[in-house]
């Protein structure tokens, strides 16, 4: 039996397999290096970075729910220069492609952070976070208003030659509108989806379970939502889609690829089991080999719907 070709291309970014990790669930990489062979991954996507250091939200920041969890971490981070100094050198000893998730409070912030990272050869692509549900400034607003969305993607596009992946918000009336806008603005790919805006309340104290009051729902609970959005977007655009939302098993990843995703990201599953992403890679390869499917392209978007 021949080994299937798992390679995926996102512009100039070449992934040896279609599995990355979802931004925010894998830290900056070193945190999991003792448990996961990072070079097995198709790419690592690090936690969102803006121009300046950011403190994030108060605690409690996460809350477990049935089949998932809420988070409102609020994008704390070391800022662009802090990331370059503190974390980029770590990647010298690895060959795994690096995707850096970027965000801003203003359009100018997005441009500046894209420009700073454009000079960093080790960074393979930028994922533009226009859909964080947990930061008041910018964040979700840029992801749900298509005019603002275009403004941000345009602004980043002119400042970087690196492949751009735009991470879409799930809470929009029509995902196709945003997927097309990303493609028209010159993005190399979209990632679908960010966590879904959600809330949980302690009935005894009658207070929200999160300090931020609301957060983003992730985990198996959102997987069918994400599959539907990927399926819809895949029929509207020709650029690759990185599918994510509750992927725990190889079967989950295959479902996204059949729906139309070229690649996938494992997120919350890394908390449950840090070896999830590697197990997904191995299982996808074994399943494709068993079915005689030669490449991801051969499988992608083959849903009979």
Partner 1 sequence: MKQENSCVLEHRLYQGDYRLLKLSAPLIGPLVQPGQFVHVKIPRLEQAVLRRPFSVFKADASGLSILYKTVGKGTAALTTVADGEPVNLIGPLGTGFPTAGNGKTPVLVAGGYGNAALYLQAARLPVKGVAFFGGRTSGDVLCVDEFEALGWEVRIATDDGSLGRKGFVTAALDEWLAEQESGVRSQGAGGGEQNETFQSLELFACGPNAMLRAVGDRALAKGLTAWLSMDRNMACGVGACLTCVIKRKTAGGWEWARCCKDGPVFNAEEILWED
Hey, which residues are catalytic here?
132
Gap between the Cα atoms of 19 and 104, Å rounded: 26
Distance CA(145)–CA(237), nearest Å, equals 19
What's the min distance (Å) between Cβ of 43 and partner 1? 16
Q: Give the residue with the Cβ less far from partner 1, 194 or 262.
A: 194
Q: Provide the minimum distance between the beta carbon of 279 and partner 1 in the complex, in angstroms, as a whole number.
A: 12
Answer positive or negative: Cα dihedral of 289, 291, 292, 296.
negative
Site for partner 1 in 255-284 (CB under 8 A): 268-275
One of 14, 67, 158, 291 touching partner 1 (CB under 8 A): 67
Closest by CA position to 144, among listed 170, 110, 120, 162 = 170
How many amino acids of this chain bind partner 1 (CB under 8 A)?
A: 34
Distance in angstroms (rounded) separating the CA atoms of residues 116 and 253: 33
64 lines the binding site for partner 1 (CB under 8 A): yes
- Best CA proximity match to 103, nearest among 128, 82, 83, 78: 128
Q: Kindly tell me which of 170 and 220 has the beta carbon lying closer to partner 1.
A: 220
CA angle 268, 134, 70 (to 5 degrees): 35
Choice between 197 and 215, CB closer to partner 1: 215
- Binding partner 1 (rule: CB under 8 A), the pick from 14, 76, 202, 291 is 76
For partner 1, the binding residue among 6, 15, 17, 26 (CB under 8 A) is: 26
| Nearest in space to 190 (alpha carbons), one of 258, 118, 245, 129 | 129
Q: Which stretch binds partner 1 (CB under 8 A): 24-32, 184-192, 195-203, 226-234?
A: 24-32
Q: Does 27 bind partner 1 (CB under 8 A)?
A: yes
- Asked if 38 and 95 touch (Cβ cutoff 8 Å), the reply is no
Closest to 302 in 3D by CA, of 252, 258, 246, 268: 258
Give the number of other Cβ atoms within 10 Å of residue 33's Cβ.
Answer: 13
User: Does residue 24 interact with partner 1 by CB under 8 A?
Assistant: yes
- Work out how close the CB of 213 gets to partner 1 at its nearest, in angstroms, rounded to a whole number: 16
How far apart are alpha carbons 68 and 112 in whole angstroms? 34
Q: By CB under 8 A, is residue 79 in contact with partner 1?
A: no
Give whichever of 98 and 296 is closer to partner 1, judged by the CB atom: 98
Judge whether 224 and 166 are in contact, CB under 8 Å.
no
Which is nearer to partner 1, 56 or 79 (by Cβ)?
56
What is the closest distance, in whole angstroms, from the C-beta atom of residue 289 to partner 1 in the complex? 26
Q: Which two tokens stand for residue 3?
A: 């080994």
Q: By CB under 8 A, which span of 4-12, 32-40, 93-101, 222-230 interacts with partner 1?
A: 32-40
Binding status of residue 245 toward partner 1 by CB under 8 A = no
Contact residues for partner 1, defined by CB under 8 A: 24-28, 31-32, 34-35, 47, 55-56, 59-62, 64, 66-69, 71, 73, 76, 219-220, 268-275
């Amino acid at each position: 039996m021949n080994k299937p070709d798992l390679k995926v291309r996102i512009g100039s970014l070449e992934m040896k397999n279609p599995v990355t990790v979802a931004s925010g669930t894998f830290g900056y990489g070193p945190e999991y290096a003792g448990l996961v062979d990072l070079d097995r991954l198709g790419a690592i996507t690090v936690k969102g970075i803006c121009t300046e250091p950011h403190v994030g939200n108060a605690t409690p920041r996460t809350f477990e729910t049935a089949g998932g969890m809420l988070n409102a971490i609020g994008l704390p981070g070391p800022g662009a220069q802090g990331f370059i100094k503190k974390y980029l050198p770590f990647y010298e000893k690895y060959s795994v492609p690096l995707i850096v998730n970027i965000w801003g409070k203003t359009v100018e912030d997005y441009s500046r952070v894209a420009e700073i990272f454009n000079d960093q050869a080790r960074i393979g692509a930028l994922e533009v976070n226009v859909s964080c549900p947990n930061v008041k400034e910018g964040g979700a607003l840029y992801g749900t208003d298509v005019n603002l969305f275009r403004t941000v993607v345009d602004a980043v596009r002119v400042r970087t030659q690196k492949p751009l992946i735009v991470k879409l918000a799930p809470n929009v009336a029509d995902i196709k509108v945003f997927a097309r806008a990303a493609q028209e603005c010159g993005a190399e790919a979209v990632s679908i989806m960010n966590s879904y805006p959600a809330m949980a309340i302690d009935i005894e104290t009658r207070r929200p379970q999160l300090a931020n009051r609301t957060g983003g729902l992730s985990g198996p609970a959102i997987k069918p939502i994400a599959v539907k959005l990927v399926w819809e977007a895949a029929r509207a655009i020709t650029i690759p889609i990185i599918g994510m939302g509750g992927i725990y098993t190889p079967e989950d990843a295959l479902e996204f690829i059949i729906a139309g995703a070229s690649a996938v990201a494992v997120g919350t599953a890394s908390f449950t089991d840090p070896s999830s992403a590697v197990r997904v890679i191995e299982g996808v390869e074994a399943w494709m080999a068993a079915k005689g499917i030669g490449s991801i392209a051969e499988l992608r978007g083959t849903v009979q719907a």
